[in-house]
Every structure is written in structure tokens, then in C-alpha cells.
């Protein structure tokens, strides 16, 4: 199944826009309960205004909240960003650390966010267990676990470590584009032959094709013989 995912999504990437580890950390914090598309609409102005850890640490809370309001839960997120800036200045000379044990001690950063930052900003392999990832690996019966940390460890035992980051992207891409929560596009899924949950969604190719989303739609439908 991993091989077929590579064929479906040969070029994977983080869908959050960033140029530095700090920008990715901030964007990932903002992405909680928010789409990457929305975050990417907010961050250009945010990153132009807040360029380093000190800018966040010394931010005017009301002003910062206005920049991030449309991402939802903006008061909590503003608290996290200000706390993040302060913690980075106090403990890491203003730089985002590149170790999991350090990242998870920072405000607003749990294990999922830490793995996103490690894998995409520092090249350290990590498995990102979001709602899409958890849903799909359970549909595929890779694990029955529901706790994200247990899911991470279970899948990590199945897949070679160097592939963890790209696997995370591919599974999440597949969940966003094909294997939707309520109505997966089973009829045009590249994993149909191997998937124990085949038939959860429409198996008719024409009906299933209408459910596929995203920039890879044409490529995915070609693989399905459409």
C-alpha cells in the first residue's frame, strides 16, 4: 500500500507555507482546528510583522489577535505564540530547537506539531498523526489504536524510519483528496485492491470520481483508468 501511495503522490510537501523553522512552528500552531488554506492566507502579513521570537514575545496581544482572528480560537493561539516567543528567548537563544523532547515543552506544541516541524524544517523523520492519518490507518487495519501516540508507534513499527515524514504527507494527502471521512472515493482509489474497507464509499468509478479533490485529481483518475 505504501508503494501505491508513492505512485499516487510522487511529489509530497508540507501544505503550510513557510521559509524558516519558526514560521513553520507558528503556522502549525495556527492550523489547529483550521484549514491549511486559511492559515496560508493569514501568514504572509503575520510573518512580515513578526519576524523572530522576540517579536512574538513582546507582541501586543490585541494586535496579534487581529492578525490571526480568522484561524479560530485566536485568543488561545495568541497566548501560545506569545508564550512560544518567550520560551524560545529564555531557553533556546530565540531559535526553534530540533529535538522532540525540547519541542514538546514549548507552549502550543504537542507531539503532532513537533513532528511536523522536525520532519519539514529539520529533515528529522517523524509521523504526523492528524485526523486524516488516524482514520486511514485504521481503515487499512494497520492499527486499531485511537490514541495518536499509540498510532504513531504502531505505524512506525511497520514503515522504515526514513520514510516516516513522506508517508505522513501521502496518507494525509490521500485522506484529503480521496479517502474522505463520510464518503471515500473507493471506486477510483489506487489502494482499492488491498483495502479491507473497500466499499465504504461508492465503488462506481463515475460516482467516485466526482468525490476526488485537489491538484492531483487528473493524475489520480488516470491511475484509476479514467
- Name the active-site residue from 112, 166, 194, 210: 112
Question: How many whole angstroms separate alpha carbon 188 and alpha carbon 28?
Answer: 31
Question: How many whole angstroms separate alpha carbon 151 and alpha carbon 178?
Answer: 21
- Name the active-site residue from 17, 130, 150, 183: 130
> ∠96-134-3 over CA atoms, to 5°?
90
Pick from 10, 27, 9: nearest CA to 18: 27
Question: How many whole angstroms separate alpha carbon 156 and alpha carbon 154?
Answer: 5
Note if 112 is an active site residue.
yes
Give the DSSP per-residue string, 39-81: HHHHHHHHHHH--SHHHHHT--HHHHHHHHGGGS-HHHHHHHH
Four-point Cα dihedral 75, 80, 82, 87, nearest 10: 160
Question: How many whole angstroms separate alpha carbon 223 and alpha carbon 226?
Answer: 7
Catalytically active residues, by annotation: 112, 130
Amino acid at each position: 500500500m505504501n508503494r501505491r501511495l508513492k505512485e499516487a503522490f510522487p511529489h509530497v510537501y508540507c501544505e503550510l507555507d513557510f521559509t524558516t523553522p519558526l514560521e513553520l512552528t507558528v503556522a502549525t500552531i495556527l492550523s489547529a482546528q483550521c484549514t491549511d488554506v486559511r492559515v496560508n492566507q493569514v501568514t504572509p502579513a503575520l510573518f512580515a510583522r513578526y519576524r523572530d521570537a522576540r517579536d512574538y514575545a513582546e507582541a501586543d496581544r490585541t494586535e496579534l489577535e487581529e492578525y490571526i482572528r480568522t484561524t479560530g480560537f485566536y485568543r488561545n493561539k495568541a497566548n501560545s505564540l506569545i508564550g512560544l516567543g518567550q520560551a524560545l528567548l529564555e531557553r533556546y537563544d530565540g531559535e526553534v530547537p530540533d529535538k522532540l523532547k525540547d519541542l514538546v515543552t514549548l507552549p502550543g506544541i504537542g507531539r503532532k506539531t513537533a513532528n511536523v516541524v522536525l520532519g519539514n524544517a529539520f529533515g528529522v523523520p517523524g509521523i504526523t498523526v492528524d485526523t486524516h492519518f488516524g482514520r486511514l490507518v485504521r481503515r487499512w487495519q494497520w492499527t486499531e489504536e485511537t490514541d495518536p501516540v499509540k498510532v504513531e508507534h504502531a505505524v512506525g513499527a511497520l514503515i522504515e524510519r526514513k520514510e516516516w515524514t513522506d508517508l505522513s504527507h501521502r496518507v494525509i494527502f490521500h485522506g484529503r483528496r480521496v479517502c474522505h471521512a463520510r464518503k471515500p472515493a473507493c471506486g477510483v482509489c489506487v489502494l482499492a485492491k488491498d483495502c479491507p474497507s473497500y466499499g465504504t464509499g461508492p465503488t462506481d468509478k463515475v460516482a467516485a470520481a466526482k468525490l476526488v479533490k485537489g491538484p492531483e485529481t487528473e493524475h489520480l483518475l488516470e491511475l484509476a483508468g479514467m
